[in-house]
Structure 1
Amino acid sequence: MKIALFGATGRVGQQILQLAIHNGHTITALVRNRSKLDKHEQLTTIQGDARDSQAVEQTIKGADVVVSALSTDKTTTLTDALPHIIQTMEHAAIRRIVTIGTAGILTSRTEPGKFRYETSESKRRLTFAADQHRQVYEMLSASGLDWTIVCPTYLPDGAARGNYRVEENLLPIGGKEITVGDTAHFAYDVVTQDKWIMCRVGIAY
């Protein structure tokens, strides 16, 4: 499989990249700084910015699937990049995209019709990141793509344990955290097995 990867130097993106390489896939990754990724025969790195439509087109060209592990990073990079990614995919007739979101954009259990970050279910006072991910969800929902948004809750560093729970559009009841390793592992499975099409997936222990 040929994977176009955005956010390959981030915490989750790096681990998705390593899983893809380990399992024999070919990856093209768009990065701001090539020196942050080790060279590998299965990996092609393109130096550039995800907000640049030409860099996005070069990254996605020839891909079977697109993976975005872009973070908000207190900027609008995520919402600036997604329109370019969606447009390029549509022009190239590439349908499958998997992104890493946040549990804040899952449906609230206590107030149906609202996102978790809009209710008391979310403990975070700052909503900038959740709002960015909500815009991505809305853009993907309006597209004709086969999308999945993996929505982890509190995300500490740590290896994959494998005992996590997942639920469509909701955070599993009582879920408090999920490691970076398990988030990457689940996202990789979604990419390679075409699971959870056109839905948000909450993931937690």
Structure 2
Amino acid sequence: MKFAVLGATGPTGQEFVKEALDNGHSVTALVRSPEKLTTNCDRLKVVKVDIFKEEDLVEHFKDSDAVISCLGCRPSFLGLSPITFYTDSIKPIAEALRKANRSRLICMTAACTKSVPGNPFIIEWVLKPLFLGKTLKSMSEMEDYLDTKCSDLDYTVVKPPALKNAESTGALVKTSEGQYVAEGTGQITRRDVAKFMLSCAVDRLWIKKLVAVSS
């Protein structure tokens, strides 16, 4: 398959690029800073783009079987700075998919973007107030936008808990439709998330779904 990957220089994006290439796929990495992606492969193309300009994305989406977004931004400490990154970025991505006549999008947010009964205490009462509140709010708004404005797209939203840098565990990823995996560990390796996102693309899994994952 051919993938257009957004956020390919980020820690999870780099893992997806490696996973896709290791499995024989082709990748076009659409990035702001090409020099940050050091992977070398004849099936990898690196292109500098502005992700907020749909005209930068359309031509590259046309050549892809699926668009993978591992985009992310830094959290706002103590909620002092507004975050609209996820809300702002999904709109040009969705429009570029339509103009490219493509529909498959797999993107990543996080577990517990919405407050629901059973959410882990540490997320609701520690991480949200101090670090993640506005980040998760913007992610939640992105999820709502896909749900209400993108019924024409075959999207999948992958929602991991805490991410760690380590080799794949090799174990089956636990999944649950919704906000979090109740029986999960509360963390997962970035490589396992990448493997799961790739499987969603190859096997057309979890279409028009929000799927929480965990190890």
- Normalised by the length of structure 1, the TM-score is 0.88
What's the CA shift string for 1:129-181, capped at 9, x where partnerless? 11121121112112021111110011121111133311111422243111112
CA contact (8 A) 1:99 1:149 kept: yes
Segment of structure 1 superposing worse, 168-177 or 3-12: 168-177
Cα offset for 1:121?
5.6
Segment of structure 1 superposing worse, 168-177 or 14-23: 168-177
Instruction: Check 1:24–1:106 CA distance in 2 against 1; reply closer, same or farther (3 A cut).
Output: farther
Residue 113 of structure 1 is matched in structure 2 by: none
Cα offset for 1:108?
2.4
Segment of structure 1 superposing worse, 137-146 or 119-128: 119-128
* Mapping for residues 184-203 of structure 1, pairs under 5 Å: 184-203=194-213
Segment of structure 1 superposing worse, 178-187 or 68-77: 68-77
- Normalised by the length of structure 2, the TM-score is 0.84
Residue 79 of structure 1 is matched in structure 2 by: 87
Sequence identity percentage: 26
Q: How many residues align?
A: 199
Residue 28 of structure 1 is matched in structure 2 by: 28
What's the CA shift string for 1:39-63, capped at 9, x where partnerless? 3211111112211222222331321
Residue 167 of structure 1 is matched in structure 2 by: 176
- For structure 2, the residue ranges without an aligned partner over 5 or more in a row are 76-82
Q: Aligned partners of 1:28, 1:85: CA distance in 2, in Å?
A: 15
Of 180, 185, 190, the residue aligned with 1:180 is 190
Q: Aligned partners of 1:195, 1:184: CA distance in 2, in Å?
A: 14
SS of 2:163's equivalent in the other structure is coil
Q: Aligned partners of 1:202, 1:13: CA distance in 2, in Å?
A: 18
Q: Aligned partners of 2:89, 2:46: CA distance in 1, in Å?
A: 18
Where does structure 1 differ by over 6 angstroms across 4 or more consecutive aligned residues? none
Q: Aligned partners of 1:18, 1:148: CA distance in 2, in Å?
A: 20
What's the CA shift string for 1:62-89, capped at 9, x where partnerless? 2111110000334533322211110111
